[in-house]
A and B are shown apart, each in its own frame.
Chain A
Amino acid sequence: MKTENQIEDLPGDAAKTSEEHSYNRRRFLRDTALVVGAAQLGVAGLAGAQPEPVAATQEPEIIRPFQISIPDEDLAELRRRVLAAKWPDHETVTDDSQGVQLATSQELARYWATDYDWRKVEVKLNSLPQFVTTIDGVDIHFIHVRSQHENALPIIITHGWPGSIIEQLKIIEPLTNPTAYDGSAEDAFDVVIPSMPGYGFSGKPTTTGWNPERIARTWATLMARLGYTHYVAQGGDWGAFICNAMAEQAPAGLLGIHVNFPSTIPTEIGKAIMAGNPPPAGLSADERRAYEQRLDLINKHYGYAIEMGNRPQTLTGLVDSPVGLAAWMMDHDGRSCGQISDLFVNGRPFGAITRDDILDNITLYWLTNTAISSARLYWENKGKWSLSAVNVSIPAAVSVFPGETYQAPRSWTEKAYHKLIYFHETDKGGHFAAWEQPEIFAEEVRAGFRSLRA
């Protein structure tokens, strides 16, 4: 993407920078209907369906259609940067115990620069009903697909980090059109797939306060604005924390939640993990396994989250270097990193996730310049141990995928989700459950919410 602020243009003070920022962006976007508040711009290229620009502040409840149209120059620039990447030396180990291996990064870069085609996913996304609406001062982008079935249950599905709407694309059809997937019409859903503020094509907050609780309230507003008086919410990673927050807020329309990343860790256990202690006595086998999984992750694979939680603005390398961004995103957790590496280097399948899928997601972060804005969510949540057992009293369904970073034991889950209407350990799938195992995931969501249907 052509940089708005070449060094020569750099003004002396921040206020002017942001003004110039927004002027350049508005000039760039003059053909779009989506002229939003200057501070919320952060979106690469938009082509609007409406001929007239509509200022967000004038008609805040409007739901505006949205289409993506990334300029060729942005894609060419990305390719140039990938090809011009400056590399470190090879790791001094023969595995990924020092991080994303050089061979992995270079193979990903090679594919990205030569074979990968963003336009494919752009076409796919533009074939889906996409919208933007302003809530609480921030533009919220979402996909909204209504089922053909009459009594479809509305569901809002939230991604996490380093995820996006890309993760959810393969579950839309199975959820809205179950009969084409060995399901029944009674299990149909109307699907709403938003991007959190600071992610994807949603706006970037310019002030603090956009924590999971605020996002949860925004989602309740969104569903009401879409005319839904009854709905459910689903999420993994941050999406699960959003669902927890929604459940605790218990907005009128929310019937229940489904999470594939439940917050179940008892307080004292959590403290012990964070202190780096070995598991205490008296844990069941499942509980001990979960303890050790979390301890292992905290010990070995949590640096990114701590840096993002404390110093997100320092991560300018992620916004300036595509290969830097790709590696940081790939390295979310050990299993995912290993799977993605295997996929690129050895062609080993990662469930339904293809190389193009991985790059669709990374490229989305790159083109929308959301590496740092997405990191600020960690900052907003700082100090809160996100997997701490919640106190959810509305109906909750939990799916435990074997490759998730920890397998929540039923004993802990029941204590956190007091009305556990569904608990199931699946055979396959990991942290990016919907993305990796869309059909298993869809079946989990159907089964999880079946008892809530009128």
Chain B
Amino acid sequence: MNTNEISETAGTPGEAYTRRRFLQNTALAVGAIELGIAGIARAQSATEPVMTMAGDPDSIQPFQVNFPDEALADLKQRILATRWPEQEAVTDDTQGVQLSTIQAVAKYWVTDYDWRKFEVRLNALPQFTTEIDGLDIHFIHVRSKHENALPIIVTHGWPGSIVEQLKIIEPLTNPTAHGASAADAFHVVIPSLPGYGFSGKPTAPGWDIARISRTWVTLMKRLGYAHFVAAGGDVGAQVVDELGVQAPPELLAIHSNMPGTVPDDVAKALNNHEPPPAGLSADEQHAWDQLDFFYKKGLGYAIEMSNRPQTLYGLMDSPIGLAAWMIDHDIRSEELISRAFAGKTEGLSRDDVLDNITLYWLTKTAVSSARSYWDYSATAKKGFFDVKGATVPVAVGAFPDEIYTAPRSWAERAYPKLIHYNKLPKGGHFAAWEQPQFYCEEIRASFKSLRA
């Protein structure tokens, strides 16, 4: 291992520092469809966009999900055979996902959970794959019946997936059935990131956020859209911020529910374990506290994924290992999910959570999705929550239980063209998934001003 990588030019951090900087800019307290998927072609409906001929490199193929029974039986058998640790030495979740929680997950997973229900739901949606830049990209594409609907591409993150976006499809494409007007309709495109879900897994490094953003522009153009907006959270928020920096002519605006707004002096103070800059407002101090907590206590998984994704064999070999790792993405989400499995469903149901985890398991994307963090951090110049320099119109939805709730003041500083800012009363990291109604209202409101 090269121990001298960091000393390139005087004062210039090398690749290793850049990698770490992606995560936080702060100190540490810390195609090809090669899976067991039988894709079945299905005839296109009349509302689908222009399809190219099969054999054309830009062709768009219909897609269906159908995992064999053996895969589901194997999953069940593994869960039943789980070898458990002893209970945590605390009476709460301060040491991680509690034994009682993960055992409740296991119990529901083998007794009540039914993947086939989810498969049916997914297969009722128009799904496609198309090859872009050498990689198969899977996406859901639902066109509104309303002709002047605004095309939107909505991107998930880690440990998310297309599962997070399913509840928003109907309200966005069919607003009149949900108390909104036809003028608020969207054509919805929901892709899976490279290495996630039914998209292909890259076989070479380089699939960073910039490449994904360019790929999304290609996708929207291939679907025939001359103009579109983009929304996202988590990794999806990195993508929309990057789209905002690339500013392709087709992009009208972005919406982020995890925007990069942390001012440089705040980021630096967090990094150096210094006290916050003087004069923070109440909202800003709250954001500081949230970030401070996350950087000191919540970053372990992200650092491991950014540096050593291939080491995570346990996530591929143990369904419960995978489940615990995914549930523990951030403390508010972990608590929400724990409450759900204790019988207090709120935002996310047990089926929701297991649809997502099972998707990761069946598509064998635990390590490929972890590897995405390695790829992102290889070229990232700023941290996850830092200001990226988007110049396009930007809409921000600040949810209370997100990793940090971006204050309006920071959003205004970060985005010269802030066209919308809203603080939502409820919802966390998986905003669209947990609070689809709030999220859809938020999306409609954000882009209203762009409508012709």
A interface, CB within 8 angstroms of B: 1, 3-7, 10, 13-14, 17-18, 21, 42, 85-93, 96, 98-102, 105, 204-208, 271, 274-276, 278, 292-293, 295-296, 298-304, 306-321, 323-328, 330-331, 334-335, 338, 369, 371-373, 376, 379, 382-383
> CB-nearest residue of chain A relative to B93?
A313
CB–CB A7/B106 < 8 A: yes
Contact of B300 among A85, A306, A320 (CB under 8 A): A306
Chain B residues near A334 (CB, 8 Å)? 1
The distance in angstroms between the C-alpha atoms of A101 and B312, with both chains bound, is 11
* Given contact pairs A105-B313, A298-B28, A372 touches B86 in the complex (Cβ within 8 A): yes
Chain A residues near B82 (CB, 8 Å)? 3, 7, 316, 320
Interchain residue pairs with CB less than 8 A apart (12):
A3-B82, A7-B106, A7-B111, A99-B311, A105-B313, A271-B272, A278-B11, A295-B16, A299-B19, A317-B322, A321-B313, A324-B321
B7 to chain A, nearest CB (A): 6
* Given contact pairs A313-B95, A318-B314, A204 touches B204 in the complex (Cβ within 8 A): no
> CB-nearest residue of chain B relative to A4?
B84
The distance in angstroms between the C-alpha atoms of A13 and B104, with both chains bound, is 10
Binds A, one of B179-187, B209-217, B258-266, B367-375: B367-375
CB–CB B310/A276 < 8 A: no
CB–CB A292/B6 < 8 A: yes
CB–CB B311/A316 < 8 A: no
CB–CB B3/A276 < 8 A: no
Contact of A313 among B1, B97, B311, B368 (CB under 8 A): B97
The distance in angstroms between the C-alpha atoms of A208 and B91, with both chains bound, is 10
Chain B residues near A300 (CB, 8 Å)? 1, 16, 19-20, 307
Chain A residues near B96 (CB, 8 Å)? 310-315
B100: interface (CB < 8 Å): yes
* Given contact pairs A93-B205, A274-B27, A303-B305, A311 touches B98 in the complex (Cβ within 8 A): no
* Given contact pairs A311-B300, A321-B317, A10 touches B103 in the complex (Cβ within 8 A): yes
A249 to chain B, nearest CB (A): 23
Looking at B96, B298, B323, B367, which has the most chain A CB atoms within 10 Å of its CB? B96
Chain B residues near A303 (CB, 8 Å)? 300-301, 303-308
> CB-nearest residue of chain B relative to A8?
B80
Chain A residues near B328 (CB, 8 Å)? 311, 314
Chain B residues near A100 (CB, 8 Å)? 308, 310-311, 313
A292 to chain B, nearest CB (A): 6
B380: interface (CB < 8 Å): no
The distance in angstroms between the C-alpha atoms of A292 and B97, with both chains bound, is 35
CB–CB A373/B85 < 8 A: yes
Chain A residues near B315 (CB, 8 Å)? 317, 324
* Given contact pairs A98-B374, A278-B11, A206 touches B314 in the complex (Cβ within 8 A): no
CB–CB B87/A6 < 8 A: no
The distance in angstroms between the C-alpha atoms of A309 and B371, with both chains bound, is 22
B125: interface (CB < 8 Å): no
CB–CB B374/A292 < 8 A: no
- Chain B residues 290-343 with CB under 8 Å of chain A are 296-301, 303-318, 320-325, 327-328
Digitize B205-244: 1 where CB-to-A-CB distance is under 8 Å, 0 elsewhere. Answer: 1000000000000000000000000000000000000000
Looking at A13, A274, A326, A382, which has the most chain B CB atoms within 10 Å of its CB? A274
> CB-nearest residue of chain B relative to A271?
B273
The distance in angstroms between the C-alpha atoms of A308 and B30, with both chains bound, is 11
Further contacts, 10 of them, CB under 8 A, given A17-B103, A313-B85:
A3-B83, A6-B80, A10-B107, A18-B86, A99-B309, A303-B308, A309-B300, A313-B96, A324-B318, A327-B312
The distance in angstroms between the C-alpha atoms of A155 and B77, with both chains bound, is 48
CB–CB B84/A316 < 8 A: yes
A111 to chain B, nearest CB (A): 16
CB–CB A306/B86 < 8 A: no
The distance in angstroms between the C-alpha atoms of A13 and B98, with both chains bound, is 12
B91 to chain A, nearest CB (A): 9
CB–CB A276/B17 < 8 A: yes
B interface, CB within 8 angstroms of A: 1, 3-7, 10-13, 16-17, 19-21, 27-30, 79-90, 93, 95-100, 102-103, 106-107, 110-111, 201-205, 271-273, 296-301, 303-318, 320-325, 327-328, 364, 366-368, 371, 374
CB–CB A323/B317 < 8 A: yes
Contact of A85 among B16, B313, B324 (CB under 8 A): B313
> CB-nearest residue of chain A relative to B305?
A303
CB–CB B85/A319 < 8 A: yes
Contact of A89 among B28, B89, B201 (CB under 8 A): B201
CB–CB A373/B29 < 8 A: no
B361 to chain A, nearest CB (A): 9
* Given contact pairs A10-B103, A105-B313, A317 touches B308 in the complex (Cβ within 8 A): no
* Given contact pairs A311-B300, A317-B322, A317-B324, A275 touches B271 in the complex (Cβ within 8 A): yes
CB–CB A276/B300 < 8 A: no
CB–CB B87/A18 < 8 A: yes
Contact of B98 among A6, A313, A324, A382 (CB under 8 A): A313
CB–CB B21/A276 < 8 A: yes
The distance in angstroms between the C-alpha atoms of A321 and B85, with both chains bound, is 12
The distance in angstroms between the C-alpha atoms of A102 and B310, with both chains bound, is 8
> CB-nearest residue of chain B relative to A296?
B3
The distance in angstroms between the C-alpha atoms of A88 and B81, with both chains bound, is 20
CB–CB B364/A319 < 8 A: no
Chain A residues near B19 (CB, 8 Å)? 299-300
CB–CB A301/B364 < 8 A: no
A219 to chain B, nearest CB (A): 20
The distance in angstroms between the C-alpha atoms of A22 and B364, with both chains bound, is 35
Chain B residues near A204 (CB, 8 Å)? 86
Contact of A369 among B21, B86, B87 (CB under 8 A): B86
CB–CB B316/A88 < 8 A: yes
Chain B residues near A331 (CB, 8 Å)? 308, 311
* Given contact pairs A206-B87, A312-B96, A313-B95, A335 touches B303 in the complex (Cβ within 8 A): no
Contact of A86 among B83, B89, B312, B316 (CB under 8 A): B316
CB–CB B83/A312 < 8 A: no
Contact of A306 among B16, B110, B299, B310 (CB under 8 A): B299
A405 to chain B, nearest CB (A): 10
A245 to chain B, nearest CB (A): 20
CB–CB A208/B89 < 8 A: yes
The distance in angstroms between the C-alpha atoms of A324 and B321, with both chains bound, is 9
Chain A residues near B312 (CB, 8 Å)? 88, 99, 317, 324, 327
The distance in angstroms between the C-alpha atoms of A275 and B98, with both chains bound, is 31
B325 to chain A, nearest CB (A): 6
Chain B residues near A316 (CB, 8 Å)? 82, 84-85, 97, 102, 318, 320-321, 323-324
A26 to chain B, nearest CB (A): 15
CB–CB B321/A91 < 8 A: no
Chain B residues near A275 (CB, 8 Å)? 27, 271-273
CB–CB A320/B311 < 8 A: no
Chain A residues near B298 (CB, 8 Å)? 310
Chain A residues near B110 (CB, 8 Å)? 7
The distance in angstroms between the C-alpha atoms of A3 and B110, with both chains bound, is 16
Chain A residues near B316 (CB, 8 Å)? 86-88, 324
Chain A residues near B10 (CB, 8 Å)? 278
CB–CB A276/B83 < 8 A: no
CB–CB B321/A379 < 8 A: no
CB–CB B3/A292 < 8 A: yes
Q: Which 7 residue pairs spanning A and B have beta carbons closest together?
A: A317-B321, A324-B314, A317-B314, A303-B304, A307-B300, A313-B96, A99-B310
